[in-house]
Amino acid sequence: MTKSVVSIVKGKDPDEMVAEALDHLGGVKSLIRPGSTVVVKPNAGHEGAPDSSVNTSPEVVGAVVRALKKARPGRIILAESAAIGCDTMACLEVSGLKKAAEEAGVDEIIDIKGGVELVKKEIDHPTSTIKHVELPRFLLEADHLVNVPIFKSH
């Protein structure tokens, strides 16, 4: 099993921190192909204000989108699926993530559980009775998936 490469940076300026973290990984242009489709997946599972520590920081998501744009992708999508019983778009709005992503230049915002086309995918070597899953087509067709979580203790 190969080990994951992790970049850890500290600071106060999200744009500088994201740029430094990506530089440790070879730079955004070495990671993202020009003309590609990039899906950015933050955590916005509940309606928490930007300072509540419930969701990913909108400043960080904005910094990630701005950094990704330097690689000249064809399209950047912000995609989320809020917790059961929560409205994804409301969570993105209240958390400040929608505004931050739009201001940074995201091309589209998608609610993963909001009427997207699903594709049945068989599971190779299933270890349970689950033999397939249905996944959103746009996620399967994306060239890059960028996960931008918030650290959690649960």
Please tell me the distance from the alpha carbon of residue 117 to that of residue 112, in angstroms, as a whole number: 9
Per-residue pLDDT tens digits for 40-99: 999 998 898 888 888 999 999 999 999 999 999 999 999 999 999 999 999 999 999 999
Q: Which of 117, 107, 122, 114 is nearest to 137 (CA)?
A: 117
Confidence at residue 5, expressed as pLDDT on a 0 to 100 scale: 83
Least confident of 18-22, 50-54, 120-124, 146-150: 50-54
What is the residue type of 124? D
Confidence at residue 4, expressed as pLDDT on a 0 to 100 scale: 85
* Range list of H helices, the chain: 14-24, 28-31, 58-69, 88-95, 97-104, 137-141
Query: Going edge to edge, which strands form the sheet with 108-111?
Result: 108-111, 75-80, 37-42, 144-148
> At a CB cut-off of 8 Å and minimum separation 6, what does 54 contact?
45, 46, 48, 95, 150
Provide the whole-model pTM.
0.91
Per-residue pLDDT tens digits for 37-46: 999 999 998 8
Please tell me the distance from the alpha carbon of residue 117 to that of residue 106, in angstroms, as a whole number: 21
What is the residue type of 14? P
